[in-house]
Chain A
Amino acid sequence: MTLATPDKETMDILLDLGGEKLKICYQCGTCTGTCPWNLVRDFNVRKIVHQAQLGLVDFEDEDIWTCATCGACVKRCPRGGETIDVMKAIRKVVSEMGAGKVPDSLRISIKNIASLGNPQGEAPEKRADWAQGRDVKTFTPQTEWLYFPCCIPAYDSKVKRMALATVDILGKMGIDFGILGEKEKCCGESVRKAGGEETFQSLANTNIQTFTESGVKKVLVSSPHCYHTFKNEYPELGAEFEVVHTTQLWAQLLEEKKLNFSREIKKKVVYHDPCYLGRHNDIYDEPRRVLEAIPGLELVEFEDSKQNAICCGGGGGRIWMDTPKGERLCDWRLEQAVELGADILAVACPYCMLNFDDSVLTLGKEDVIDIKDVSELVLEAI
C-alpha cells in the first residue's frame, strides 16, 4: 500500500494562492466545533485545513465547496487563522488550475456572471426592470447617491421587494439617488469566495471603471456582500467611493430626526444578523436601532445572535449550489425563529431573504411567519 506523503508543492501553491495563515493552525478543532454546518450535517473544517497544511487536499471532495464563509470559526480561532482564505485558496486550485471539478450549479452561475454580469443568466438590459413603475432615475454625475440593488433583488421577482422598499423610502425622504441599470455588474464577492478570482477581478475592475466614469461618490447597497467587497476589497483595486448599507442609512436618518415613524407595527420581530454585515463588518446595532424605533414593534433576539449568529447558508457561493433538504441552515434558523414566537423574521441581506423565503415555503410556515427586509418594515412604519 502506498501511503499518502506530505506534498510540499501543493502546500506551497495554497500558500501562494492566499492561504498564508494555514501554517499557524495547531489543529485544536475550535473551527469544527464552531461551524454551524455541524448543526445539520457533518463538516470537518479542521481536517480540511490540515489537509491543506500537508498539501494532501482531496480536490474531488465536495466538502471543499461546503464552507459558507460565515466567518464564525475565524472569530473564534485562537491562532488568528483565516479559514476562509484557506477555503478560497483550495477552490482556486480547482477553478483556476483544474485540479478537480467545480459543482455544476456553481459553475453555471459563475459562467453567467462572467458573460452576463448576473448569476441568473438574465439579460443585462433587463437589469433595471425591477424599478418599473417607480420614479427611479438613472444615475448622473450630479446625483448624490448610487443605489446598487444586487443581482438578486434586481432579477428575482420576490426578492425585488427589498429594492422597491428601499427606493420608496428614498423617494419619501426626498433623497437624491439614481441607478446604473444595465451598466452595473455583479459585485463578485461570492464569486471570489468560490475561487473565481479571475472573474472577480474582471467584475471589480469593470464596476470600478463604470462607477468612476459615472462619477459615483456614494453607494447605497442592500446586500452586505456588495457592502463587504466594495468597502474592503475594491479599494485595493483602486476604488474610491463611500459605501453605505441601507440599515446604516436608515439609522442615520433616524438619528438626524429626518426619518420619523407614524404607524405602528404590532408584531414580534426577530432580527437575523447577516454574516457579512455582522461578523465580517461589525454592524450589529444600526438595524436593531431602526427596528426598536418602530412603534409597537417588539424586537426579540435569537439565542445565537450578533457575533454568534447562525449563517443562513448562503455565503461563499453556496447561494448558487443545491443543499439537500434536512441539511439547510436556513431551515434550522427559521425553526428557531418560529420557536421564539416571532411573527416576522427581519433580514438585511438578499441571500438571507432568498433562503428564508424558500424555507417558509418548503417547511409550510406561510401562516406562521413572514420574511421581511428591514427596509420593508421601515416603509410600513413611515
Chain B
Amino acid sequence: MDKKLGVYICGGCSIGDSLDLDKLSEVATKEYKVEICKTHPFLCGKEGAQLIAKDIEDGVNTVVIAACSPRAQQEIFSYDPGVVLERVNLREHVVWSHTPQDEDTQMLAEDYLRMGIAKAQKVLPAEPYQETIDKTILVVGGGISGMTSALEAAKAGYEVCLVEKSPSLGGWMSKLYKQYPKHPPYQQLEDTGIEAKIKEVEGNPRIKVFTGAEIEKTTGAPGMFDVLVRQNGSQTSLRIGSIIQATGFRPYEANKLDHLGFGKYPDVITNFQMEELARQGKIKRPSDGKEVESVAFIQCAGQRDENHLPYCSSFCCLTSLKQALYVTEQNTDASVYVVYKDIRTPAQYEDFYKRVQEEQAVFFTKGEVQGISEGGGCLTVEVEDTLLGEKIGINADLVVLAVGIVPNSMPEEAKKATAEAESSEEKCEGAAERAPDSGFYAAPALQLKYRQGPELPTLKYGFPDSHFICFPYETRRTGIYSTGCVRQPEDSATSIDDATGAALKAIQCVEQSSKGMALHPRAWDQTYPDLFMQRCTQCKRCTEECPFGMYDEDEKFNPLPNPTRCRRCAICMGSCPERIISFKDYSVDIISSMLKAVEVPEEDEEKPRVIAFLCENDAYPALDVAGINRLTYNPYVRVIPVRCLGSMNIVWIADSLSKGIDGILMIGCNYGDDYQCHFIKGSELANYRMEKVQETLQRLVLESERIEVWQLSISEYDKLPKIFDDFLETIERVGPNPYKDF
C-alpha cells in the first residue's frame, strides 16, 4: 500500500493555548517529511471534519489526528475501512495534565506525535476474515433455560437446534408439583406452565428438537461449527453458528449429609423428593405411609458450608416456603417448622415469605442443626445457636433437607485445562475443593475437539464462566455461551431472563462473525492474527496461552488459527518468542517503531524518559479520566496503549532499554481470584513473563527497579499520577540508563 499521510493538529480544548503548534507541526513536516500537515482550532467542528474529508478525497489514506483521546469524538473521526486512522492524545494526556507553555510539555506532545506518525506509517488497513458463516444456533439442554433460549432465538428469526439428553423436554420444572408465585401479589402457588412451553418449542417451525440425544463431537469455530449429534443410535451432522450450553444442574448429593440423617432414616428426604411426594397426592411418611402432621424443613442442607457447597443455591428458601404450603394446604392442623441460616427471598418474593410467615402453623427459627434422632414415633431435630440463646428440639413426622444444586458442568473426574501433565490425573470430589480458577474442564456435554481440551474450562465451583461481572454468559470459548443453572444458581424466573440474554449473545456472535468482526470486548475489530509460519519453532506457547483456545494444532505442533474464535487480545503475540504473530494495526514491529520514535535527551539534560505500557481497557481510559479531572503528573512518561498487558512482547523492553529509556511501567488489570482482565489471564501472564525479564536486565547490567508492573482498575484513575511520580523518583535514585549516550 502506498502510504499518503495527512497529519491534523487540533488547537481546541486549550491545546492551542498550551502548546506551540507551529513547532509541533515541524515534527511532521521536517522530521518525518509529511507533506500534508494542517492545524485547525476546532478539528471536530464541521469545518475541521470537512478539511480531513477533502484530503481523503484527494488521496490521503493514512490520517493522524493529534487532538483529544481516541476514546472521544469517535463518530466524527471515523473513515472508510481503507483509511488508516491514528489518534494522538494531546488533550487528556498532555495539555490537561501538564503545565501549559512549558518546555517539557511541548517535548511530550512532540514525542506523542512522533510515535503516532511512526505507527501510522506501519499500520495497514484491516482485511476482515470472511468465510461462509452459518447462523444456526445450537442449544444444549432442554430445560426451562434451554427452551427459552431456543424460543427467543427462533423468535428473532434464527434457526435453532435443541439437543436434550433425556427422552422429553422440560427438565426439572416438569418434576415440580407447583411453583412458588412468580406474579403479583406473590401470594398463591402457581402451576409451572411447563407443558405449554414444551408445546410452544415443539410447535415452532424454526426449532429442530433432538430428545434422547447427545453430542458426540464438536469441531470448528463460531459460524462454522460442525456438531455431530447421536440420537437413537443414528448420527446427524449439524452446521452451527454459535452454541448455548444450558445443561442445568443436579441436586447436591444428600448422602454426603449424614449428620442430617439422610440415608439413615427413611423419613428424612430432600426437597426434590418432596416434590415427588406432593405430586403423588397426600404427603405421607415414606417409612409407614402415615399422612404427615408435622414437617421440619432444614435450610442450607449443605449450602454455604465449606465442606459441601460453599455458595447459596438461590431458590431453596423459596422452595421450602412453597412446600410448607403443600403441607398446610393438605392438612390445616399440621405444623411446619423451618430451620434456617438466613431466609433469602430477594425482591418481591419477600411478599411470599411474609405470606407464609403469616400462616399460623408455620414456625421459623434461625439456627444450626446439630443432629437428628428418632424416637417416640417421630424424628427429633436438635437445633443450636438459635436466637433464643438456647437449644431447641423439633419433633416431626418428616424432615425435608433443602439441598442445593451443583452445576452439571462440575467435573467429577476430568482433565485439567492447563497442559501440566502431572495434574491431569487428579480426581476432584466435592465442589469445595475447587479453587477459584479451577483449571478443570466441565463435565462432558459439547465434546469439543479443541487443542486446549474437550469442554468449557470451569471457574469457581465448577461453573463454566469467563468473567462473572463484566461478561455474563460468556465462557472461555468464543461463540459458546452458558446460561441457566449451569452458569449460576437461579430460579426459573431468573433463568428465563438469563436464557434470553444468552440467546442475544449467540445472535451477536453469528452476526459479528459474518462481518469478520471480533466479539466483545473488541467488537469493532476486523483485524486478526497473521502468522509468519516459516519462522515458527512449534514451541506451543500461543496454542497453550490463548485464553480462548483459538489455536488448534497439527501433528507437527504447528499452530492452526481459527480466526472466528479469536478475541483479538494479542496475547499470542506477546507469547511468541519468534515474534511471528502480527495484526495489521498491532505488531511487535509497530510498537517497536513507536518506542524508537521517542527522543531521548542526553544524560546531562537531566530529563529522564519512561515508557508506560497501559492496558487499553482500564489503565488507558483511567489516565484519560485523570486528565479530565486535571490531575497533574510529571512530563517524562510516554504512554503506549496495548490491547492487553498479555500482548506485551518482551522484546519491547529490550528495545526501550537499549535506546536509553530509563524505566518501564506496565499497568494492566487486576488478576487473581477476582480478576478484571478482559481477556481472562492476560495481565497475569504479563506478570509471569516479566519475571523472566530479570534475565534480560542482568544481561544488560541494569537494575531491576527500572521495571514496575501494576494492577489498576478503571476507577482508580486518581492513583495514576502517584504511580508515575513515584516511579520517576525511583528512576532518579537509580540514576540514568547507562546506555543513554550510546
Contacts and interface: CB of A to CB of B under 8 A. Distances in A.
A6 B395 CA distance: 9
Contact of A6 (B353, B354, B366, B394): B394
Contacts of B365: 6, 50, 53-54
Nearest to B389: A47
Contacts of B361: 8
Contacts of B389: 47
Contacts of B337: 6
A293 B335 CA distance: 60
B394 A23 contact: no
A280 B335 CA distance: 36
Contacts of B387: 27, 46-47, 50
A11 B357 CA distance: 13
Contacts of B366: 27
Interface of A: 2-6, 8, 11-12, 15, 23-27, 46-47, 50-51, 53-54, 56, 79
B363 A53 contact: yes
Given A4-B392, A23-B358, A53-B364, 9 more contacts: A3-B382, A6-B335, A6-B363, A6-B394, A23-B357, A26-B343, A27-B364, A50-B365, A50-B387
Q: How many B residues are at the interface, by size bracket?
A: 20 to 34
Interface string B362-394: 011110000000000000101000011111111
Interface in B393-428: 393-395
Given A3-B382, A53-B363, A26 B392 contact: no
B360 interface: yes
Interface string B540-574: 00000000000000000000000000000000000
A47 B392 contact: no
Nearest to B294: A8
29 contacts: A3-B392, A3-B393, A4-B390, A4-B392, A5-B393, A6-B335, A6-B365, A6-B394, A8-B335, A8-B361, A8-B363, A12-B360, A23-B357, A23-B359, A24-B357, A24-B358, A26-B353, A26-B357, A26-B364, A27-B366, A46-B387, A50-B365, A50-B388, A53-B363, A53-B365, A54-B365, A54-B388, A54-B392, A56-B388
A323 B382 CA distance: 38
B360 A23 contact: yes
A375 B152 CA distance: 73
B388 A51 contact: yes
Contacts of B392: 3-6, 54, 56
Contacts of A23: 357-360
A11 B360 CA distance: 9
Contacts of B394: 5-6
B375 to A, nearest CB: 12
Contacts of A46: 387
Contacts, number: 60
B187 to A, nearest CB: 14
Nearest to A44: B389
Query: Which 8 residue pairs of A and B lie closest in terms of their CB atoms, listed nearest first?
Result: A3-B393, A4-B392, A24-B357, A50-B387, A5-B393, A23-B358, A23-B357, A6-B363
A79 B390 contact: no
Interface string B479-508: 000000000000000000000000000000
Interface of B: 335, 337, 343, 353-354, 357-361, 363-366, 380, 382, 387-395
Nearest to B335: A8
Nearest to A2: B393
Contacts of B395: 5
A373 B602 CA distance: 87
B70 to A, nearest CB: 49
A17 to B, nearest CB: 14
Nearest to B359: A23
Nearest to A24: B357
A46 B365 CA distance: 12
A95 to B, nearest CB: 24
B360 A4 contact: no
B360 A24 contact: no
Contacts of B364: 26-27, 53
B339 to A, nearest CB: 11
Contacts of A8: 335, 361, 363
B65 to A, nearest CB: 56
A2 B394 CA distance: 11
B354 A15 contact: no
Contacts of A79: 354
A262 to B, nearest CB: 57
A147 B358 CA distance: 43
Nearest to B361: A8
Contacts of B354: 24, 79
A24 to B, nearest CB: 5
A15 B360 CA distance: 9
B130 to A, nearest CB: 58
Contacts of B357: 23-26
B395 to A, nearest CB: 6
